[in-house]
Structure 1
Amino acid sequence: MTEAAAELGNAQRVRYRDQVRRARAVVRLARYADQASARAARLVRAAGRLGSRLPPLVWDLMLPTLLLLNVMTTRAPQELPVAVVLTTALALPLVWRRRAPLTVFGVVAAAAFVQWLVDVQLPADIALLVALYTVAANSGRRGTLVAAAIVEAGVLLACLRWATEGAFLTPFVAVTAMTVAAAVLGVNVRTTRAYLAALKERAARLEEEQEQQARVAVAEERTRITREMHDIVTHNLSVMVALTDAAVYAQHRSPDKATTAMLQISETGRQALTDMRRSLGVLRTDEPDAERHPLPGIAQLEALADQMCAAGLPTRLEVEGGHTHIPATAQLTVYRLVQEALTNTLKHTPAGTHAKVRIRCSAETVTVDVTDSGPRPPLPGATSFGHGIPGMRERSAAYGGKLQAGPLPDGGWGVHTCLFLSSSGVVSE
């Protein structure tokens, strides 16, 4: 029993050592296989980089060269002249296949037919598949179908002559599959090229549209700045002219009032310069004035009314509802509408005229009413040559409003509009 147990233990140890050796051998083989795969991948990548740098003509010359070398090294001396001539006729036209695919295919097909007539089998027959691929990749559907039919007819003739007895179907199906694969591959390449060309055209069109949108945005910005400059300059110059006239009239009778008017003129000029710097500050990256002086809004209408009173136009302001929720651009529009309307009243009405400004604010709309009590002739801004009333209409239309400006039934002049604050009613300026 003891000897039998010892023998059994020895046999188990031997089997265990054999299993360990086999496992280590498998691990080494796996490691070697991984290293070989990595080397092959590096070689493929290097070949791909080298191939991408070679011109297409080099690739087109490579196949005829290889086929000629194969014929010259495998054919018997008595068969060599005919084989070399036929191989040259089959493979050499492929050099020009990118320039004239249909012509090259015709030459290769004719050479293949001559080869069939003289009953010589050559590896250069693969040139016919390359020519078919080129036709499918560069011609339309009709040319591809005609070329594929010609190749298939050649396949049938070749299998009828050179297939061994009783083995016609296998080579015929195999070569037919190769023909279909060459044609399908060429069609896929042509489709991919067309798709990429369409993408490039679309990208170019989108870039052109973006440039057009940028030009339109620049034009709109110029129009906006021009409108702002018109409102600022017209209003402040009108106020300064009125104050200057008042100062000249009062300089002898009431020097204190003349001094006050002159101070008002100075303040109005400084305000005009500030407004101009603020409006033009968007054109300069180093202009901090727009941050120091925010855009005027409904809160600044009281100062505007006081300025008009100092210029000789008594103005009463009424603001109904809160305006803190109204966007800054909408408040600027309200301010410019009121400013333009009061400026027109100051310029075109006689002394003693009174003006009234009424602003009604709600969650969705802002209603602006500016009326005065003075008779006046038609406003120059109402004609097609001015910018006053048309500019006001543009500002109002930007928020979906329709400006109404004209004489009132009881006398005087009125301006009315309603601005819509909802996104559907806003049109970007």
Structure 2
Amino acid sequence: MAADTMRRLRREPYGGAAELLPACGVLLLVAVWTAASLLLNPADPSPVTVLGWLLNAAACGALYVRRRYPVAVPVFVLAATATYYVTSEYDGPLVLALVLALHFLAAEGRLQAALAIAAVAVIGVGIGTLAGNEDTNIVSVFMLTGWLVAVVALGTMRHRRFAYAEEEARLRATEERLRIARELHDVIGHRISLINVQSGASLHRLKKHPEEAEEALAAIKENSREALRELRATLGVLRQVDEAAPTRPAPGLARLGELVAAARPAGFEVRVHSRGRARELPAAVDLAAFRIVQESLTNVTRHARGVTAVEVRLDFGERELSLAIEDDGGPASAAHRKTARHSTAGSGIEGMRERAAMLGGELSAGQGPRGGFAVNARLPYVS
């Protein structure tokens, strides 16, 4: 979604319709007004008339390349407009080209340049008025000042609106990348940790207890298959390809039994206890709860010392879900995992904290009341 927003905000290339329309619109208006003035009341000699048409065409045509030369175009338009009004008897609408040029300059984020050019234009008209130009007066100077300030302000507002939208799109893209990184870490890290433990156990038991080694190898095969399946599913979402809908349920507490079954070959038992009335959880809460349990079991697999059992307690409250995952590894195991947590900050426990915080909840990890390592999380149903 963030990429789509960036594509919508991306400006058209040079020479597109966005450049052509303002230039042609102002040129058409100026040409019609000038032609009508020449037919109804010809006042300029032929050389001055030709010069006036050239200045009109040049000033309006310069708007076509305003993005390529954002500052040079308003300066040129100001010079052409000033020359036209000084040399011609007609008070045409060419000033609209200057107004648009200043608006587009401010919309590009060049506020100081736009204000400087506008100030030069107002000062020039003011000097002409003081010099006795009958076509202008103090009222027209103030009106011109108001017009130029207004169009510069509108251009600045447009620039800030686009800048805010682009920054928001970048933040969304960053959040999406972090979310994907957490998903990949939780999915792949959990499966690879189980495969590592089970392969070590199978090598140890291969000669003395081949039947147990066979069971561990079967678990390795199943976990590797699951890792590949979930990795393909994640990459498929990233590629946004038109594939068939997934047949497996989305990760959630309904699949908690899979985590329990996958942990058995690792050498410890997982016991799940539930309290309160089970309910259908919001998708974000359900996924976060599953990933927190998954990452906690992964940490036990990686860093367990003497762990034989893990307790997973779910408390379905009225407004939030409480999670507690504690092992029986004892203080030494808890201290070992506390050290491991600091050495891998930003991926495991920190990733679980981020998940809880994004939902308006909180998560703590450390030595539990019974001496083992414990993870406690609180996930509100509505953040």
TM-score range, shorter chain: 0.5 to 0.7
Structure-1 residue corresponding to 2:355: 395
Query: Contact between 1:277 and 1:289, CA under 8 Å: does it hold in 2?
Result: no
Counterpart CA distance in 1 for 2:245 and 2:122 is 64
Q: Aligned equivalents of 1:254 and 1:104: distance in 2?
A: 100
> What per-residue deviation string (whole Å, max 9, x for no partner) do you get for residues 268-290 of structure 1?
11111122122222212226376
1:325 to 258, 269, 280: 280
Q: Matched residues in 1 for 2:27 and 2:181: separation?
A: 60
Distance 1:388 1:368 in 2: 16
Which has the higher mean CA deviation after the structures are superposed, 314-323 or 261-270? 314-323
Specify the code of the residue in structure 1 equivalent to 2:42: L
Distance 1:179 1:190, change over 3 A: closer
2:290 to 323, 335, 341: 335
Paired residues, number: 313
Kept in 1, the 8 Å contact 2:279–2:316? The answer is no
Deviation at 1:256, TM superposition (A): 2.9
- Structure 2 vs 1, CA of residues 288 and 321 (structure 1 numbering), >3 Å: closer, same or farther? farther
Measured against aligned partners, the alpha-carbon deviations of 1:375-419 in whole angstroms (never above 9, x if no partner) come to 313335421543212111111111122211111243111111101
Give the Cα separation in 2 of the matches to 1:274 and 1:53: 64
**Aligned-residue offset at 1:350:** 2.3
Whichever residue aligns with residue 171 of structure 2, its letter is: V
Question: Counterpart in 2 of 1:99?
Answer: 79
Which has the larger share of helix?
1
Aligned position for 2:174 = 219
Given candidates 358, 361, 365, the residue that maps to 1:405 is 365
Question: Is 1:67 the counterpart of 2:27 in the alignment?
Answer: no
Residue-by-residue CA offset, 1:189-233 (whole Å, 9 max, x unaligned): 764565444434433332333222222222221111111111222
Q: Which of residues 261, 274, 278 in structure 1 aligns to 2:229?
A: 274
Which amino acid in the other structure matches residue 366 of structure 1? Answer: L
1:57, CA displacement in angstroms?
Answer: 11
Q: Which of 210, 220, 232 is the equivalent residue of 2:187?
A: 232
Aligned match for 1:383, one of 335, 342, 346: 342
For residues 6-405 of structure 1, the aligned pairs below 5 Å read 52=28, 62=38, 66-67=42-43, 99=79, 127=89, 130=91, 191-192=146-147, 194-286=149-241, 288=243, 291-374=246-329, 375-376=332-333, 377-379=335-337, 380-383=339-342, 385-386=344-345, 387-405=347-365
| Cα offset, 1:188, TM superposition | 5.6
Q: Equivalent residue of 1:293, what SS?
A: coil
Matched to 1:293, the amino acid is: R
215 and 104 in structure 1: CA distance in 2 versus 1, 3 angstrom threshold? closer
Give 3-state SS (helix, strand or coil) of 2:79's partner.
coil
Report the structure number with the largest CA radius of gyration: 1
Aligned alpha-carbon RMSD (Å)? 4.4
Percentage of pairs with the same residue: 27
The aligned counterpart of 1:22 is none
Question: 5+ unaligned residues in a row in structure 1: which ranges?
Answer: 1-47, 70-87, 109-123, 155-177
Instruction: State the shift of 1:421 in Å.
Output: 1.9
User: 5+ unaligned residues in a row in structure 2: which ranges?
Assistant: 1-23, 57-77, 100-117
Q: Kindly tell me: are residues 103 and 361 of structure 1, through their superposed partners in 2, closer, same or farther at Cα, counting changes over 3 Å? A: same
Specify the code of the residue in structure 1 equivalent to 2:290: Y
Letter in 2 for 1:264: A
CA distance in 2, matches of 1:238, 1:63: 88
TM value normalised by structure 1: 0.59
Cα distance in 2 for residues equivalent to 1:241 and 1:235: 10
Q: Secondary structure at the match of 1:378?
A: helix
Distance 2:36 2:340 in 1: 76
For residues 110-169 of structure 1, the C-alpha deviation after alignment (integer angstroms, 9 at most, x for no partner) is: xxxxxxxxxxxxxx9xx5x949x97xx9777787778678879x7xxxxxxxxxxxxxxx
Larger RCO, structure (CA 8 Å, separation 6 or more):
2
